[in-house]
Amino acid sequence: MKIKKQWNIKQVDTLFKTSFIELMFHAQIVHRKNFNPNIIQISTLLSIKTGSCPEDCKYCPQSARYKTDIKKEHLLNITKILKAAYDAKKSGSTRFCIGAAWKNPADKDIPYLENIIKKVKKIGMETCMTLGSLTKYQAKKLSQAGLDFYNHNLDTSPKYYHKVITTRSYQERLDTLKNVRDSGMKICSGGIIGLGEKTEDRKELLLQLANLPQPPESVPINMLVQIKGTPLEKIEKIDSFEFIRIVAIARIMMPQSYIRLSAGRNQMNEEMQAMCFMAGANSIFYGCKLLTTSNPKKIEDFKLFKKLGLTFENNLLLNNKHTFQRQLFSKTINEVNNKYYNADI
């Protein structure tokens, strides 16, 4: 059995101090060793219950504590959910993600969620949910229904966390991730960059994620979207190169995880997105909206992917990718060794 690498803060600090060009080169090598760099995994995210959330996350327009323009919606009926899933599959998505603005689901809601999972699975898509904290019982029930992934972000470092959220502890988030992993589901967990945190907080966030007993299979890296009415609406925006650096370091620290370029893409130009893909991002949310936040239009993503020569991951590629990855990596490394010195730090 391969022993998982345990990262320490000194090693992470070294990555943060590495020049941008060297860091990108190293991230590319790691990425090509584990994935086809020309293939992007596509997910679609749907909010099935919007607004009136009791949490006080300072970045979120769905909190009942803030006055935002969010239109509140009760739990969607399954017909609307399945239509959205069918549309997502037709558009090229392989995973259908469902979000609900809860602190945690009630046990009485679990049968309805189980039914959604089973019906979406029959369409032929992977399933993911983000519903807040989960108990062991709830995680087990969702897993038994066939839920593939559960999303529960750590958001930021343990030290900075209380400045962003006070209604849920950091340990609660870690406990939910443990319940998810113990149930047999895969984990989707990442963070938000640009909350006002310092570089040290970004290091600690990545350290927390990479040093979980098993790193998340999916790691969404979000750039804060400043929403009017939330406490962070006027916070200073993060520098583009700093954000790309986070993506590259996440790729290096979690080499076999899908790194998702998540919220904030609508604020990025094509060049910035392209550099994020070069840094190792290989997953996106596809569609005009992420829960309540705007996202690039599908046609814009299609045009960008065409310019970059990127293609959607599909079932055929999923079945054959490991053989292709080994062949591609072997060819790439030989070419690199012939042309450049070894910058694999």
Q: What separation in angstroms does the CA of 332 have from each of 75, 125, 242, 271?
A: 49, 32, 27, 24
Is 276 annotated as catalytic? no
Q: What separation in angstroms does the CA of 325 have from each of 32, 253, 278, 279?
A: 7, 19, 16, 17
Q: Is 182 helix (H, G, I), strand (E, B) or coil?
A: helix
| 267 DSSP assignment | G
Distance of alpha carbon 52 from alpha carbon 3, whole angstroms: 44
For residue 73, what pLDDT band results from cuts at 50, 70 and 90? confident
Distance of alpha carbon 96 from alpha carbon 84, whole angstroms: 9
Question: Would you say 113 and 84 are in contact if contact means Cβ atoms under 8 Å apart?
Answer: no
* pLDDT for residue 270: 92
Which residues are registered as beta bridge partners of 150?
129, 187
Question: Would you say 216 and 254 are in contact if contact means Cβ atoms under 8 Å apart?
Answer: yes
Distance of alpha carbon 51 from alpha carbon 70, whole angstroms: 7
Task: Calculate what percentage of the chain has a pLDDT beyond 90.
Answer: 56
102-116, 129-143, 285-299, 311-325: the lowest-pLDDT one: 311-325
Distance of alpha carbon 43 from alpha carbon 225, whole angstroms: 19
For residue 325, what pLDDT band results from cuts at 50, 70 and 90? very low
Distance of alpha carbon 224 from alpha carbon 190, whole angstroms: 13
Tell me: the pLDDT tens digits for 196-217? 999 999 999 999 999 999 999 9
Tell me: the pLDDT tens digits for 243-257? 999 999 999 999 999
Determine which one of 32, 97, 168, 245 is catalytic: 97
Is 60 annotated as catalytic? yes
Binding site members for [4Fe-4S] cluster:
53, 57, 60
The mean of the pLDDT values for the chain is: 85
Q: What fold, for 9-328?
A: TIM Barrel (3.20.20)
Distance of alpha carbon 7 from alpha carbon 317, whole angstroms: 31
Determine which one of 60, 173, 245, 251 is catalytic: 60
Question: Would you say 146 and 138 are in contact if contact means Cβ atoms under 8 Å apart?
Answer: no
Q: Where are the domains of the chain?
A: 9-328
Is 128 annotated as catalytic? yes
Binding site members:
53, 57, 60, 97, 128, 188, 260
Place of tokens 């046609």: 299
In total, the chain counts a number of residues equal to 345
| Sign of the CA dihedral running 101, 55, 141, 178 | positive
Question: Would you say 90 and 60 are in contact if contact means Cβ atoms under 8 Å apart?
Answer: no
More confident residue, 315 or 9: 9
Determine which one of 173, 188, 245, 265 is catalytic: 188
Binding site members for [2Fe-2S] cluster:
97, 128, 188, 260
Is 288 annotated as catalytic? no
Distance of alpha carbon 340 from alpha carbon 29, whole angstroms: 12
Determine which one of 168, 251, 260, 265 is catalytic: 260
Is 265 annotated as catalytic? no
Tell me: the pLDDT tens digits for 282-294? 998 875 554 455 5
